[in-house]
Amino acid sequence: QEAFIKHDGFQCGYCTPGQIMSAIACVKEGHANSAEQVREYMSGNICRCGTYLRIKDAIKSAAKQK
């Protein structure tokens, strides 16, 4: 959640809970080693605002802190 806030990984908040839950699994399962891995793992989550780049940045940031 902190990484999403830091990287402004949400706008309307519609997808944020699902994005965060998937992001946690992405990091814990070791799928956050590259932008391509994150993009593939998170591909089932749809963001209506299009903050995908910031979401990816938040996930990669959280993975570094793990």
Q: Tell me the C-alpha distance between 66 and 53, whole Å.
A: 20
Q: What is the pLDDT of residue 29?
A: 96
pLDDT digits 0-9 by tens, 4-33? 999 998 888 889 999 999 999 999 999 999
Q: Output phi, psi for 22, to 5 deg.
A: -65, -40
- Local structure of residue 15 (DSSP, 8 states): S
* pLDDT over threshold 80, residue 66: no
Q: What's the mean pLDDT in 40-49? A: 91
Residue 25: per-residue pLDDT: 96
pLDDT given at position 43: 93
Number of Cβ atoms within 10 Å of the Cβ of 60: 20
Tokens of 24: 């946690």
